[in-house]
Amino acid sequence: MPETAVGARVTLRSIARTYASSSGQVQALAPTDLNIEPGEFVAIIGPSGCGKSTLLRIIAGLDSASGGTLDSGGNDRIAFVFQDAQLLPWRTVAANVALPFELGHGGIESADARKKAVADALAAVELSDAAHRYPAELSGGMRMRASIARALVTRPRLLLMDEPFAALDELTRNRLDERLRELWARDRFTVVFVTHSIGEAAFLAERAVVMSKRPGRIVHDARIDLPEARTTLLRGEASFAAASAVLLRALTEGAA
């Protein structure tokens, strides 16, 4: 990437979300306070339907809160990675990664500078050799790496990820977890990562937020006691099992 990104601060105060349904009002998210420091990697886990994705979409500005206040540093430096790679099938990988520039994001006007930014983003996710291929020619893991490159190309201050690796096989998922962790350690953008996987949360994040069943509320918010430098082999260590056990306990109690 051309420069080191500076992570955004995210502050939520009494953020809540209520939906109207045929049976009346449904409270998806109880009033929630959360403060994320610049450059933190925070994982959010919780049972299905607890409001994890709702919270993420509110931070992204893709959904509106029913109450409370949010400060995410402005929407110009936020990137969102969905569970599906969401690549345009008629565009090459490089053209997909360049799409944010065409939509007016990133603040890079020069064609040469944009081309370099795309090349740097593809190199960061080890996809340089696939720049001129089309999504249909890629594996699931490669498509997701292209989606991450598209998110990184504008050098976001805040990267939001909603179960991006959930559909991948375990080995591919582990490799992408490791690569994402490396990119975060290098550039220190702020990451909020929603996952159902306790192991993924423990491996990736510096801090884990565990939510209860609906209406979602935070029942656990603590640092993950693991070394900063992490490789896939860490998953076989006793320290990793201990960190995962803490999250499992909180998740089990929150789902009760």
pLDDT (0 to 100) of residue 129: 96
Report the percentage of the chain scoring pLDDT > 90: 79
Sole residue written with tokens 């402005």: 74
Nearest to 46 by CA among 255, 223, 242: 255
**CB atoms inside a 10 Å sphere around CB 95:** 16
Q: What is the CATH number of the domain that holds 87?
A: 3.40.50.300
Average pLDDT over residues 97-110: 84
Are the CB atoms for 166 and 196 separated by under 8 Å? yes
Tokens of 252: 């089990």
Are the CB atoms for 72 and 158 separated by under 8 Å? yes
Residue 3 lies in a domain: no
Q: What is the pLDDT of residues 34-85, one digit of tens each?
A: 999 999 999 999 998 899 999 999 999 899 999 999 998 665 689 999 989 9
Residue 167's pLDDT band (cuts 50, 70, 90) = confident
Which residues does 38 contact at the CB level (< 8 Å), separation at least 6?
6, 7, 8, 9, 157, 190
Cα–Cα distance for residue pair 132/92, rounded to 1 Å? 5
Average pLDDT over residues 128-140: 96
pLDDT (0 to 100) of residue 174: 93
Specify the range with the lowest mean pLDDT, choosing from 63-67, 153-157, 234-238, 252-256.
Answer: 252-256
Residue 139 lies in a domain: yes
Predicted TM-score (pTM) of the model is 0.93
Residue 2 lies in a domain: no
Please list the residues that pair with 216 across neighbouring strands. 29
pLDDT (0 to 100) of residue 255: 81
Residue 135: DSSP 8-state: G
pLDDT (0 to 100) of residue 75: 56
Residue 1 lies in a domain: no
Residue 238 lies in a domain: yes
pLDDT (0 to 100) of residue 72: 83
Which residues does 62 contact at the CB level (< 8 Å), separation at least 6?
80
Q: What is the residue-averaged pLDDT of the chain?
A: 91
Residue 5 lies in a domain: no
pLDDT (0 to 100) of residue 76: 61
Residue 225's pLDDT band (cuts 50, 70, 90) = very high
Residue 68 lies in a domain: yes
Average pLDDT over residues 171-178: 92
Residue 55 lies in a domain: yes
Q: Which amino acid is at 140?
A: G
Nearest to 163 by CA among 155, 171, 153, 173: 173
pLDDT (0 to 100) of residue 125: 92
Per the structure, the count of domains in the chain is 1
Residue 211's pLDDT band (cuts 50, 70, 90) = very high
Are the CB atoms for 35 and 11 separated by under 8 Å? yes
pLDDT (0 to 100) of residue 3: 46
Residue 109's pLDDT band (cuts 50, 70, 90) = confident
Residue 26's pLDDT band (cuts 50, 70, 90) = confident
State which residues form the domain around 217: 10-255
pLDDT (0 to 100) of residue 39: 94
Is a pLDDT exceeding 60 seen at residue 97? yes
Q: Could you give phi then psi for residue 196, rounded to 5 degrees?
A: -90, -10
Provide the 3-class DSSP secondary structure of residue 74: coil
